């Protein structure tokens, strides 16, 4: 196994199998690390800890549509001791490069989770690497836990984007996690270092938010039989007690599987990001997009997560429906079997910057050439109903051929031959069962 000595602080370096950190020796000079910073308790303590270990720290924050006071967080990072703090806006690329392709292939993990967190990680990682390169950082760091998926997603992206980068993951370093065994230890350290925090020792769950969704996990939610508290949900109105008593109709237009326009009595937008925000506003108002699941993490653990994915839910639902009208049956079957499942797994497992993602994304584009038209939705108390769809370009659906009230160009008499051909193998199956003494007619 390859071993290298990695400078870690003024008096120690790590001697380790590449690229993991476990022990210390002397650092010849200060080195620079780019830290993914949120302004919260964990990353504020990590920032102070890295400085304590002798690093010059450059903080990085991604504006990906979350409701956050970036200026306050930046001021906090500089006060703690960061040399610089960058706030990079990645909203537009998040919508166009990640959310829209996910809609085009109806991406979902284990048939429920719409990948809101997973979708955000590639653009965040790319922007962080760009800052690290600009600042000449030899190291990159994050606050992901050692049990979660995000450590994998970020680090695989880092290594693909800059193969020579070295990662410091504090929550996998024994010295760090043995010192900070829980939230109380972090709060005590923050108090000792004079780090201002808003967290309390009784915070009952953790959250992660972006333009597409908000996730909730840990704390009281780790018991899968504990109902989420009503005041936990941040984005959407309670479908039963707070959503409007009147439904609202929405029209979504698509070109090549991409949403290009949304309109309702309260919203009208066509710019990609504005469209996504409008979809969010409508779905949030009517309590659409909540899920509560137990999922299989990439690292092998099961995890309970609660997710709010309002706008993405209604956009995806509309797209799924439009494909029924406009997409060839065999293309749809192949796409569902290979592309949708494969692309969803790639996103969830953090393999976005990979040759297989490029291959599947090219397939997505090819599959969507005919997916043009509009879908009419009705939003009401947590539900998203499809009430109509149309396409000016698709010729796959012929109302005359499908009608029960006219013959059209379809010859019913020809169906008999179709059935006979399809029955050839089934007759042989029945004969084989009879020869084996099995009675298929006998009722259980």
- Positions marked active-site: 42, 121, 150, 206
Cβ(323)–Cβ(176) below 8 Å: no
The strand pairing partners of 261, in sequence order, are 253
Closest CA to 44 of 195, 191, 202, 207: 195
Nearest to 381 by CA among 234, 244, 213, 235: 244
* DSSP E strand boundaries for 225-289: 248-255, 258-264, 268-269
Q: Is 354 exposed, middle or buried (0-12, 13-18, 19+ CB in 10 A)?
A: middle
Q: Which helix (H) or strand (E) holds 428?
A: helix 415-435
Residues in Cβ contact with 263 at an 8 Å cutoff, skipping those fewer than 6 apart: 250, 251
Question: Distance (Å, rounded) from C-alpha 100 to C-alpha 257?
Answer: 8
Residues 6+ apart with CB under 8 A from 131: 34, 58, 60, 86, 88, 137
Helix (H, G, I), strand (E, B) or coil at 290: strand
Q: How far apart, in Å, are the Cα atoms of 194 and each of 39, 241, 302, 417, 424?
A: 14, 42, 37, 82, 80
Of all helices (H) and strands (E), which one includes residue 324? helix 310-326
Rg (CA), the chain: 26
Report CA 180 to chain centroid distance, whole Å: 29
CB 232 within 8 A of CB 216: yes
Q: Which is nearest to 13 in space by CA: 58, 66, 64, 53?
A: 53
Helix pair angle (70-80, 41-52), 10° resolution: 30
Closest among 298, 199, 310, 314 to 254, alpha carbons compared = 314
DSSP 354-413: SHHHHHHHHHHHHHTTT--EEEEEEEETTEEEEEEEE-SS--S--HHHH-SS--TT--GG
């Amino acid at each position: 196994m390859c071993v290298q000595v990695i400078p870690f602080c003024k008096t120690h370096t790590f001697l380790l199998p590449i690229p993991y950190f476990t022990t210390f020796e002397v650092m010849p000079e200060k080195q620079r690390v780019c830290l993914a910073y949120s302004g919260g308790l964990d990353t504020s303590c990590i920032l102070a800890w890295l400085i304590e270990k002798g690093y010059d720290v450059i903080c990085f924050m991604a504006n990906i549509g979350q409701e956050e006071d970036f200026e306050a967080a930046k001021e906090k990072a500089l006060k703690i001791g960061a040399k610089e703090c960058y706030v990079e806006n990645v909203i537009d690329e998040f919508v166009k490069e990640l959310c829209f392709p996910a809609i085009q292939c109806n991406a979902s993990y284990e048939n429920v989770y719409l990948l809101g967190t997973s979708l955000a990680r590639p653009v965040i990682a790319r922007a962080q690497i760009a800052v690290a390169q600009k600042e000449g950082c030899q190291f990159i760091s994050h606050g992901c836990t050692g049990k979660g998926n995000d450590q994998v997603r970020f680090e695989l992206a880092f290594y693909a984007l800059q193969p020579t980068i070295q990662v410091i993951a504090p929550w996998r370093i024994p010295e760090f996690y043995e010192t900070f065994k829980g939230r109380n230890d972090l709060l005590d350290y923050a108090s000792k270092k004079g780090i201002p925090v808003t967290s309390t020792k009784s915070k009952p769950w953790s959250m992660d938010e972006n333009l597409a969704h908000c996730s909730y996990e840990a704390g009281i939610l780790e018991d899968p039989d504990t109902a989420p508290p009503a005041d936990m949900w941040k984005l959407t109105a309670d479908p039963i007690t707070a959503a409007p008593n009147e439904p609202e109709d929405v029209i979504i237009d698509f070109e090549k599987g991409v949403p290009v326009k949304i309109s309702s009595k309260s919203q009208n937008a066509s710019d990609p990001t504005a469209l996504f925000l409008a979809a969010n506003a409508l779905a949030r108002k009517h309590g659409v997009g909540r899920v509560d699941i137990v999922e299989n993490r990439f690292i092998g653990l099961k995890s309970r997560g609660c997710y709010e994915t309002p706008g993405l839910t209604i956009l995806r639902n509309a797209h799924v429906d439009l494909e029924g009208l406009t997409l060839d049956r065999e293309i749809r079957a192949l796409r569902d079997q290979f592309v949708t499942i494969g692309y969803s797994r790639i996103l969830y497992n953090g393999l976005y910057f990979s040759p297989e993602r490029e291959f599947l994304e090219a397939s997505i584009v090819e599959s969507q050439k005919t997916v043009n038209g509009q879908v009419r939705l009705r939003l009401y108390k947590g539900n998203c109903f499809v009430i109509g769809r149309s396409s000016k370009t698709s010729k796959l659906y012929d109302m005359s051929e499908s009608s029960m009230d006219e013959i059209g160009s379809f010859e019913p008499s020809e169906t008999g031959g179709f059935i006979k051909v399809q029955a050839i193998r089934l007759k042989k199956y029945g004969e084989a069962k009879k020869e084996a003494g099995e009675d298929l007619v006998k009722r259980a």
